Amino acid sequence: MEGKAFPKKIKKEEPTVIDSLNHLPRPNQNHASLAEHFSDLAPPLTDRQAVLEASRCLYCYDAPCVNACPSEIDIPSFIRNIHQENVQGAAQKILSANILGGSCARVCPTEILCQQACVRNNHQECAPVLIGLLQRYAVDHAEFQQHPFQRAASTGKRIAVVGAGPAGLSCAHRLAWHGHDVVIFEAREKAGGLNEYGIAKYKLVDDFAQREVDFVLQIGGIEIRHGQVLGDNLSLAELQQQFDAVFLGLGLNTVRQLGLASEGAPGMLAATEYIRELRQADDLTTLPVADRCIVLGAGNTAIDMAVQMARLGARDVNLVYRRGVEDMGATEHEQHIAKENQVRLLTWAQPEEVLLDDQGRVCGMRFARTHMCDGRLQPTGETFELAADAIFKAIGQAFDDSALSDSSGQQLARDGERIRVDEQLRTSLPGVYAGGDCTQLGQDLTVQAVQHGKLAAEAMHAHLMLNVEAA
């Protein structure tokens, strides 16, 4: 997204002090040296590399890679466009299916989705077509003179979207495309959601998340109101009264707890909070660094946290998981990144006690060794301790129930803590839709959230236009 459609000028937020870690030292290296550690994880393809890689695609008629793509991008078609040097046409194909195709090309686990399904992914061929890098190449090099999608005539309908993350942005863009007016209500100072605040810095560099938001908004008809928190200064009941439809793209905004004593001690922090501060920091030398640290968890957030602490200069980084490697949520690709950065992966170990020094600060953790017994995770009776200056929790996110504390919110049917929706992303309340991580549908992936937003927008549009025709 280097063309005119993606301006680079972005004003950064000032980083805040992470109080729980303020006693820790700062990095030994200067900002320039540290910044090199957070450059692009996967360097982009050159023009020649892109054309050569595109030539490897067989342009399958019934392409398995398309079936594996949650956002249903016509992969063979866009790759053929690259091979024919029609980069703008390739980007148009991608963005018509996934308006956040640039960020998804960078953060999507293509190794377990489209590339795993690629027919060239076999022992004879050695490697699948590098679909993710080709998608990035197309979107980055498209020189759009204007937004590639033009708004339809105004419908006179207004829709509220709660949350400016991938699901909300995708929904808003598709609604605006159909001629509806959209107001996005966002709690934070910046739009982008997980892409802006929750992804490892080396995966989305150069303010890409904000440039992508700017691109989405160029279609027109979308207003973002910041500082709007559902369940605080905003209620679902009010939105239902003021708008023709509502989309909830709330995400999972609270951190699961271990339930251990001293969990709030200095040196104990949610991984997502540290990642947020790191992504917003203009000067990496201001960040506290634990020389020895423990990361609890087994998903991509745990990997992101561990790798970034290692790149900031931590000497000893342990990622600890209560089950085996085969149960880890992080892909093999992510695990490989961790090992390349000297992160030690320890499995079959469950947190038992937070260890504190004389000043009440974290100095380590005691773990109980675990194993599977009759299909259940059980302690073996053995324990061990790890020394650490900080412990980061990456054991999963939870839904913030306060968001739905008003009368309308309490009427929403739930599947456990998440909002229940049908195949058209409709909730149990008429005119209210939901998508992304706050629902139980699909995988908790950025690309899945984008698809939810798109499908919800299409369902809303069809329903609103049906009512117009009936009137």
Tell me: the pLDDT tens digits for 219-253?
999 999 999 999 999 999 999 999 999 999 999 98
**pLDDT surpassing 70 at residue 4:** no
In a domain, 103, yes or no: yes
Q: Does residue 19 sit within a domain?
A: no
The CATH number that applies at residue 205 is 3.50.50.60
> Residue 1 pLDDT > 70, yes or no?
no
**Average pLDDT rounded to a whole number, residues 37-49:** 93
Pair 277, 361 in one domain: yes
Q: What is the DSSP string of 62-83?
A: T-HHHHH-TT---HHHHHHHHH
Evaluate if residue 388 carries a pLDDT over 50: yes
Whether residues 247 and 260 share a domain: the answer is no
pLDDT tier at 18, thresholds 50, 70, 90: confident
Of 336, 370, 396, the domain-final residue: 396
Residue ending a domain, choose from 396, 416, 446: 396
Query: Mean pLDDT in the chain?
Result: 92
pLDDT of residue 8: 41
Looking at residue 467, its pLDDT comes to 65
pLDDT of residue 143: 86
- How far apart CA 448 and CA 208 sit, in angstroms, is 19
Same domain for 390 and 410, yes or no, is: no
- % pLDDT > 70, the chain: 95
More confident residue, 123 or 271: 271
CA 276 to chain centre: 12
Residues 288 and 384 in one domain: yes
In-domain check, residue 25: no
The token duo for 1 is 């997204």
Residues 212 and 200 in one domain: yes
366 and 271 co-located in one domain: yes
What is the domain count for the chain?
A: 3
Residue 443 pLDDT class (50, 70, 90 cuts): confident
Give yes or no: residues 369 and 261 share one domain.
yes
Structural domain includes residue 16: no
376 shares its domain with 291: yes
- Whether 20 maps to a domain, the answer reads no
Give the model's pLDDT for residue 146: 86
Q: Say if residue 16's pLDDT is above 60.
A: no
For residue 44, which amino acid is it? P
pLDDT of residue 46: 96
**Whether pLDDT at 38 is above 50:** yes
pLDDT for 469: 60
pLDDT value at 454 more than 60: yes
Residues 346 and 224 in one domain: no
Q: Among the listed ranges 4-13, 114-123, 226-235, which one has the minimum average pLDDT value?
A: 4-13
Residue 111 and residue 48 share a domain: yes
Among the three residues 348, 366, 396, which one is the final residue of a domain in this structure? 396
pLDDT in tens, 284-311: 999 999 999 999 999 999 999 999 999 9
pLDDT-derived band at 10 (thresholds 50, 70, 90) equals very low
Please check whether residue 176 is in contact with residue 220, taking contact to mean a CB–CB distance below 8 angstroms: yes
User: Domain of 66?
Assistant: 40-141
What's the rounded Cα separation, in Å, for the pair 195 and 445? 11
Could you tell me the pTM of the whole model? 0.93
Helix H or strand E encompassing 362: strand 362-373
pLDDT higher than threshold 50 for residue 39: yes
Whether 33 is in a domain gets the answer no
What is the spatial distance between Cα 456 and Cα 339, in angstroms, rounded to a whole number? 39
pLDDT on residue 463: 95
**DSSP type of residue 184:** E
Q: Please report, for the domain that includes residue 54, its CATH number.
A: 1.10.1060.10
Mind listing the pLDDT tens digit for each residue in 143-168? Answer: 888 899 999 999 999 999 999 999 99
Out of 117-121, 196-200, 467-471, least confident range:
467-471
- Let me know if residue 135 belongs to a domain: yes
Please tell me the distance from the alpha carbon of residue 52 to that of residue 79, in angstroms, as a whole number: 11
Locus of tokens 């046409």: 89
* Strands annotated E in 72-180: 158-162
Is residue 241 domain-shared with residue 265, that is, in the same domain? no
Quick one: 280 and 338 in the same domain?
yes
Residue 444 pLDDT greater than 90, yes or no: no
User: What's the average model confidence in pLDDT over 445-453?
Assistant: 95
What integer is the mean pLDDT of 204-220? Answer: 96
Residue 470's pLDDT band (boundaries 50, 70, 90)? low
Please check whether residue 351 lies inside any domain of the structure: yes
